[in-house]
Amino acid sequence: MDFTGILTALFKLVALLAIGFVIYRKKYIDEHFNRGLSWLVVNITNPCLIIGSLASAGDIPQQTVMKLVVYGIGYYVMLPFLAALIVRVTGIRKEDRGTAALLAVFSNTGFMAIPIMQTLYGDMSIFVINILNLPFNFLVYTYGIYLIQKDIRAKQEEKLAAEGQKTASSRIKLDWKLFLTPGIVASIIALILYFFKIQMPQPLTVTFRFIGDVTPPLTMLLLGAVLAESPIADAFTNVKLDLAMLLKLFLMPLLAFVSARLVFDDPVIIGITVLTFAMPCGTMGVMLSKNFGGNTRMAAGGIFFSTIVSLITIPLVYFILSKVLI
């Protein structure tokens, strides 16, 4: 493994993070711009990148791709249990445990993982990442929403208990259209094209790649702007949450390494898998908190802290991988 690759990837990442952060704080862009750019990345450029990356997936055996699908499902099934353990061990308050668990489970497997993996492992890594993360959308719009509403109910129960009243139980309402996101649809299309060995016309493939290639720089710029929306101090004042995020950054890739070694033989696939789950908290934590009335400030603080610390932990994880995957 070339250690300069990870440093190059992170240098580019930090540069665009800084630019996004500064131009937001200088008010050249605002939350409306962030939402618009996020929509563009999620609905247009990233799906194009997924389908365009199919041209680089031809060397991956079909058996390995099936293992990636099954492994991704299994790993995401394990994550809520590990997140619950992290939350309990660090002593997070009951009314904040849902938000903390949300941050622990859902990593930045898109905005940060894609540009880093593309630099380290090439275009085929994009295909691998998106196959691994097929369960992400289903889980984030079910378990993720449940965690936010769990915190809201806990605060309501605490308030009403102090007043001597009881709370009425509430059900989580889900919109199944949320699961048919462009990213999920593009991943399914890519799987179908891959397994049935359907080759797209060259002009179409080139067009998908041309549009998709803007995704990594746009996502890094957007991440910096999103982080700039919250006060920097919030990232370092919640000691218990910061400790939980530190545990996440070490335990998640450790779990991925142990489990991936049992499933895959290819060190490149193992490396991509481990580093994908070594990413910091995903911005979906803030987005869901905003949409469903959760603790947005706490979520933003956790994302900011984990992102800054991950600039150290990601190279560390990569360095360890370079020693054990020989």
Write the pLDDT tens digit of every residue in 222-232. 878 878 887 88
29: left (phi over 0), alpha (psi -120 to 50) or beta: beta
Over residues 215-223, the mean pLDDT reads 83
The yes-or-no verdict on residue 1 having pLDDT over 60 is no
How confident is residue 121, by pLDDT bands cut at 50, 70 and 90? confident
The confidence score (pLDDT) of residue 81 equals 93
Over residues 78-93, the mean pLDDT reads 93
The domain locations on the chain are 3-324
Residue 208: half-sphere exposure toward Cβ, Cα within 13 Å: 18
The confidence score (pLDDT) of residue 196 equals 85
Instruction: Calculate the dihedral angle through the C-alpha atoms of 93, 149, 220, 120, rounding to the nearest 10 degrees.
Output: 80
CA 250 to chain centre: 15
Both structure tokens of 4: 């300069």
Over residues 139-160, the mean pLDDT reads 78
Q: Which of 3-7, 27-31, 145-149 has the highest mean pLDDT?
A: 27-31
The yes-or-no verdict on residue 178 having pLDDT over 80 is no
- Reported pTM: 0.82
Write the pLDDT tens digit of every residue in 36-69. 888 888 889 988 988 887 766 667 888 999 999 9
How confident is residue 241, by pLDDT bands cut at 50, 70 and 90? very high
Cα–Cα distance for residue pair 92/101, rounded to 1 Å: 10
Q: Which of 81-95, 137-151, 152-166 has the highest mean pLDDT?
A: 81-95
Write the pLDDT tens digit of every residue in 94-113. 888 889 999 999 998 877 88
Cα–Cα distance for residue pair 39/66, rounded to 1 Å: 30
- The fold of 3-324 is Na+/H+ antiporter like fold (1.20.1530)
DSSP collapsed to 3 states, 256-302? HHHHHHHHCCCHHHHHHHHHHCCCCECCHHHHHHHHHCCCHHHHHHH
Both structure tokens of 117: 């993996």
Over residues 214-223, the mean pLDDT reads 84
